[in-house]
Structure formats: C-alpha cells, structure tokens
A and B are shown apart, each in its own frame.
Chain A
Amino acid sequence: MKLSLEVNKTLHELDVPPNTLLVDLLRVNLALTGTHVGCDTSQCGACTVLLNNRAVKSCSVLAAQIEDCKITTIEGIGTADDLHPMQVAFRECHALQCGFCTPGMIMQAIDLVENTPNLDKRGIREGLEGNICRCTGYHNIVRAVASVAGAVD
C-alpha cells in the first residue's frame, strides 16, 4: 500500500505491505537504525519514537496507521556537533552503559519533559516505566532527565 508520512521533517512516499511495522519501516525502508528493536513485544521501549510529538512503541504500531503523521526518531533531534539538550544531559550524567536502550529512553524523556507539567523525580521514574535498561540501574538516567526538566526530588 502507498503511504505518505513525515519522518524527521522529511516527507516520504513509500509503498509497503499492510503488515509492515513502523519500526521496520524506519529501520529497513528508511535505514534509520538508531531506533532499536529490543524485546519486540512492546515491553522494553527500545523502539520508542515520537508520533505527533508523543512517545509510542514503534514495534506495536502499523506503518499503515500513521499515514500523514509526523514521526521523530533519535536521528531527528540532534547531530554529533549539535546534540539535543537531552543527549547532552545523558552524556554529562553518564546515563548509559551499553547504549542499547538509550535512543528509546531519550525519546520517551523528551515526551515526558515536553508534555508533563511540574515534573519531579518520582514523575520521571514513573514516566520511564515503559523503558527498560539492563545496565545502569536508572539512577543516572533519572538524574539526566531531571537536569533537563529542572526537576528536584
């Protein structure tokens, strides 16, 4: 089926089978491999991207569902020379170890900070429930998000 959608501010016209998942469209059709597939069962959040500025798990969304929508992936928020403030905070706070969960974690964190009024550290911990990290133990991740949100304990 023919689809048109905007990914990282670029309009794409694609022709994909109806059972294509958004994450496969991003990784295979558009070669945007920054979005990771972790569990592939909508538990881990590694595949989180922004759909019209809200975090979704792209392994559980059909490409067909998002005709004419706006998608933002980790590739769309900053460059190596001009990182997004959330990426800077993750680097400053050492909020990653292996880095596999990091793209999803950052996209989720951006949704939280942009869409949650009066975000505190508890709100950050609850807000990150859909993202699983198996290395760092979350503490530094919460610190990084809190530093961007200006959140206190």
Chain B
Amino acid sequence: MQLFNYHKPTSLDEASSLYRMAEDPIYLGGGMTLIPTMKQRLASPTDVIDLSGIDQMRGVVVSRKSVSIGALTCHNEIANNAEIQSTLPVLSSLAKLIGDNQVRNRGTLGGSIANSDPAADYPASVVALGATIYTQDRTISGDVFFQALFETALEPGEIITRVEFQVPTRAVYQKFPNPASRYAVVGVLVADFAGEIRVGVTGAGPCAFRARDMEAVLNRALDPDGLQELGLSEVEFNSDLHASGEYRAHLLHVLVRRAIVELVALD
C-alpha cells in the first residue's frame, strides 16, 4: 500500500474542506472494499479521509412509513437492530447475507452504496424500497442513484450522510450468493407497496436497477407464471468467470419467481 495522508474529521464541513484541499483524496467508510483495493494498488490516493468520526452520520430513526439509517451504520447493526427487524425485516435479513461476520462488523451502509459494486446487496434495496439518499446538501432518489459500474450520482467530494427507506407492506430478498465471496451472483428484492410491486435487482447488470418490465407484469397479477411472457434481454447482463450473462438472465427469473412465492406466503 502506498503512503498517504490520513485525516479523521469530526464534521461534514471539515471533511469537505479536506477533500477540496487534497490532490487525490478518497473517503473511507468501513474500508472493507477500499483497504483491500489500496493494498492491491488499484487505488493510490494521496489523502484518506476517514468519515467514522462524524457523529451526524450515525443513528437509526424508525417511523411507521420509513426507516432512516446513518451512513456509518455497519451491516451487523442493521441485521441485529430490533426496530429495523420489526419495521423493515427485509433489510435486516439482507444485511445478514452480506460477506461474513467480520465484514459485517466493519462494512457500512453508506460505503457499500457509494461504491456501487455491481454485486453488492444494499443497492437492490435502495432501488426497490424507494430510498432517498441524503448527502451534505441535497437528496438523491434511489431510482437514479446508481448510474454505471462503480458509478453513482454522487459529485466528487459529496458524502452520503443517511439513507431513508420507505416501509413496504411486505418484501422479500432472494439472493444467489457466490459460494466463496458471498457477493450476489444475482440478488432481487421484491417489495409490495399496498399493491404496487417494485423489483430491485443487483448482481445482474453493471449496477443495480429496477426490472420495470417484470414490475408491469406483476402489477397486473401477482403470479410468477406471468413472467414467462418476458424475454431475458432487458439489460446487458454481466458475464464473468462466475456466471455468463445468459445464466444470470435465467437466474433473475428464478429468483423473482421464488421471491413472489415467498412474498405471497408472508401476509
């Protein structure tokens, strides 16, 4: 790992100002992606700005309609938080499937979302649960947040402070994990908002997206058999050593089908 200047600001203003003044800065959340990336020298920032000292980015606020989670909240906190478990259980169960226990103790919600890894789990929940991304001075709709492979709507220097998820009537996350890494080969979050179905997909394309053609079919009738009328070519599916694009396209259908069966059984 190359040498860098390390900073630990205690406010958003201080973090932004450090970012502006540095030559090639990067923000550090839990570091579960960034630190291995730096060790491999795939990233060599001049300045690492550790956000973990900014208390404003912590805390969980649960209401009947929404769950607002500070960006620094780690995966195990989301998995084990009793209020999230009772109000938005799908998010707790999703968080429990991320990586392994050690990663869940360090990795953060904000870091995962800001990274827009095509195989990360949270992005499926951001698009399916009508999330709003809060940054220092604006809000971004979850629908437009993920833009491409490792690319988001965030401007340079912008920091995710919290993410607000809408609470659905019921929802299910189905994931086919890579057996070694536990990343999603494909993951789907199917949410029912009082009869309106939203399908968030991760792992399949360059970044998370809503399967709008599937949503249209499922909004006519919540019957997985209806999906058979759809082709498999809605997006450009990822093809890599883990799975071909064709395999992922097929898997997407299988997982949505499983999710619907589980969703209908929930009540």
Contacts and interface: CB of A to CB of B under 8 A. Distances in A.
Given A40-B39, A41-B36, A62-B6, A57 B102 contact: yes
Q: DSSP majority for the B interface?
A: mixed
The 5 residue pairs across chains A and B that have the minimum distance between CB atoms: A130-B100, A18-B6, A54-B105, A129-B100, A19-B1
Given A60-B35, A65-B31, A130-B99, A51 B105 contact: yes
26 contacts: A18-B3, A18-B5, A40-B39, A42-B32, A42-B35, A42-B36, A43-B180, A43-B181, A48-B102, A54-B76, A55-B102, A55-B105, A57-B102, A57-B103, A60-B106, A62-B28, A64-B6, A64-B50, A65-B31, A111-B105, A112-B101, A127-B101, A129-B101, A130-B99, A130-B101, A131-B100
Contacts of A45: 100, 102
Interface of B: 1-6, 8, 28, 31-32, 35-36, 38-39, 48, 50, 52, 76, 99-103, 105-106, 180-182
Interface string A124-153: 000101110000000000000000000000
A65 B8 CA distance: 8
Interface in A19-68: 19, 21, 40-43, 45, 48, 51, 54-57, 60-62, 64-65, 67
B31 A60 contact: yes
Contacts of A56: 102, 105-106
A111 B50 CA distance: 25
Contacts of B2: 19
Nearest to A20: B1
Contacts of A17: 3
Interface in A56-112: 56-57, 60-62, 64-65, 67, 108, 111-112
